[in-house]
Structure 1
Amino acid sequence: MLPYLQSVDIILYNSFARTHLGHGTVRALIAGLLGLAPDDTRVKDSLDLAIRAGLTFKIHEGRDGAKPHPNTVSLAMHTTTGRNLEVCGESLGGGRISISEINGVVVKITGDYPTLFVAHTDTPGVLSALTAILAKEHLNIATMRTFRKQPGGEAYTIFETDEPASQEVVAACEEVLHVQFASLVNIPGAMPLKLRVNLKYDFASADRLMELCRNKQMSIAGMMRLREQKLRSSKKIPDQLMKNIIDTMRAETHEALEQPEHSLGGFLYGEAKRVAETPTPFISATQRRSMAYAWQRLNALPRWA
């Protein structure tokens, strides 16, 4: 869980406000606050885990149209240190999000580049001190944007760099006069722009994929493995990562039929298994099995967010 986090008010807007009960949106948000990964099977139990961790939360449904994006959520976080933070984010689809507001100040953080976030007072000398720290560490700045409500007030500067900053850089930034805090920002689902631009084995069509296969004399599977290897910044072997994916997909296909669990929204429980096991003269066994697999997708454990 985030350090010193004591309570959070969650406000859901637009379509989020209308669909969160059935989609398990709040469970996913609380899981994120607890530090759970999207593929952690404990996501479905996040509300209970939060209570055990001493994190209190309240859910509110915001007024339609109050935020421009259809899938918007605001998190008002309260800490034991008295420092409060309000963050507004948008779900862009495909597992990607964008941070659009911090403490009422309009910002834009997407994670396209490694990102350093600095909260400070809007006063002369702060930006020059911060850029000097990055220059000393040989970090090239791709973009730098400062957001504020008024001159001399609260301000946030977002640095996007070609390479990730270290924790030592973060600590040095926090030592600068008039800086309240600094943090590295990791947006789940974001792929660094540098990778997208320079990815040698990327493709946007079947023709391009086949061309890559011919040039490298590889099968489609071999090319996909090579692409995954180039994409991954971790040292994990692509085969291990892909095995985890296929094991999860297989489990998703069968677990809800063999061992039913309540769905995220709590409305479904065992329907897929009953469809699979109940003969009917109106449909064939193959059709019944197909229907059961369709139902089980709604009744499956939320392994992937």
Structure 2
Amino acid sequence: MRFKDVFSIIGPSMIGPSSSHTAGAARLGRIARRILGDAPEEAEIVFFGSFASTYSGHGTDLAIVAGLLDCDTDDPRIRDSLSIADSAGMKVDLRTSQKPAPHPNTAEILLKKGDRAVRITGCSIGGGNIEIINVNGFDVKFSADYPTLLIFHDDRRGMIADVTDVLRHADANIGYMEVDRKSRSGDALTVIETDQAIDAAFLTQIRGLPNVRRICIIDLTGKEEGK
């Protein structure tokens, strides 16, 4: 992780006390919500490492749940997020684990709504910055610092070329791309970060591509969620 300026170290505008344990945690929750595509009915949150030791005192639990409610890092509702979630009918289960984790500030978040479920693993790496390192069993890595497109699809020849051709016509510059698959010709996930938001018409084209099962948009500056 390369810090671009002093604000990358001290963190964003936020409800404290910690950019890593609260601001970063809120971002993890918001990203998990975006991947699910809506407010969850059930949330299971497992804390690892430093998160597991200090989550209550540092408000990490409040921050992640606030993110699930789509609160930004400086939203005063963070302080009351657990009661707000309870009032909204969101069932929250908080747990800790002593298993080794890739980073001291790691959380695994399982969200459910109806017949849809997503599981993500993410790390708060300092200054409010985060990394998602696993989505539904796919080993991918992204920061969501830029508009991010998640494409769940079948592993088929020409799939990536078809997607990038749509983005080329959308005049979208790809800053980062990563692909993982469960098996050859099996389930796959492509993650693409772009320099600008992608117009809805082009997203519709990607949804309509053969072998695309679902796409999800993560843009924490906007309100659109995955569908």
In structure 2, relative to structure 1, the CA distance for the partners of 1:147 and 1:46 (3 Å cut) is same
- Considering fraction of residues, name the structure with more helix: 1
Q: Which residue of 2 aligns with 1:72?
A: 106
CA contact (8 A) 1:116 1:165 kept: no
Find the aligned partners of 1:69 and 1:23 in 2 and give their Cα distance: 17
How many residues get paired?
186
Ranges in structure 2 where 5+ consecutive residues have no aligned partner:
1-32, 222-227
Matching residue of 2:66: 31
Tell me, yes or no, if the aligned pair for 2:141 and 2:178 is still in contact at 8 Å: no
Higher share in strand: 2
AA at the equivalent of 2:98: R
In the other structure, the counterpart of 2:219 is: 186
Q: How does 1:1-305 map to 2 (within 5 A)?
A: 3=38, 5-65=40-100, 67-80=101-114, 82-186=115-219
Partner secondary structure for residue 210 of structure 2: coil
Per the TM alignment, residue 168 of structure 1 is displaced from its structure 2 partner at its CA by: 2.8
Deviation of 1:120 after TM superposition, in Å, equals 1.1
2:22 matched residue in structure 1 = none
Q: Secondary structure at the match of 1:120?
A: strand
- C-alpha distance in structure 1 between counterparts of 2:119 and 2:57, whole Å: 25
Shift of 1:43: 0.7
SS of structure 2 residue aligned to 1:128: helix
Aligned partners of 1:37, 1:113: CA distance in 2, in Å? 16
Deviation at 1:112, TM superposition (A): 4.6
Equivalent position SS for 1:89? strand
State how far apart, in whole Å, the 2-side matches of 1:111 and 1:4 are: 19
> CA contact under 8 A between 1:119 and 1:155: conserved in structure 2?
yes
1:53–1:46 Cα change, 3 Å: same
TM-score (norm 1): 0.57
Name the aligned partner's letter for residue 111 of structure 2.
Answer: M
Per-residue Cα deviation, 1:128-166 (whole angstroms, up to 9, x for no partner):
221121112122223322112221222111122232212
What letter matches 1:39 in structure 2? D
Residue 106 of structure 1 deviates from its aligned partner by 1.0
**1:100–1:128 distance in 2 versus 1, CA, 3 Å:** same
Cα RMSD, aligned residues only: 1.8
Q: Residues 171 and 182 of structure 1 are in contact (CA less than 8 Å); yes or no, is this contact kept in structure 2?
A: no
**Shift in Å, 1:68:** 1.6
Question: SS in structure 2 opposite 1:158?
Answer: strand
Amino acid at match of 1:59: L
Q: What letter is aligned with 2:112?
A: H
Query: Is the contact made by 1:165 and 1:184 (CA closer than 8 Å) also made in structure 2?
Result: no
The offset of 1:51, in angstroms, is 0.9
Query: Tell me, which stretches of 5 or more residues in structure 1 are unaligned?
Result: 189-305
Question: Given residue 22 of structure 1, which amino acid in structure 2 is its aligned partner?
Answer: G
| Structure having the higher Rg | 1
Structure-2 separation of matches of 1:113 and 1:75: 21
Deviation at 1:76, TM superposition (A): 0.6
Would the alpha carbon gap of residues 4 and 121 (structure 1) be closer, same or farther in structure 2, given more than 3 Å must change? farther
**2:210 and 2:88 mapped to 1: Cα distance?**
35
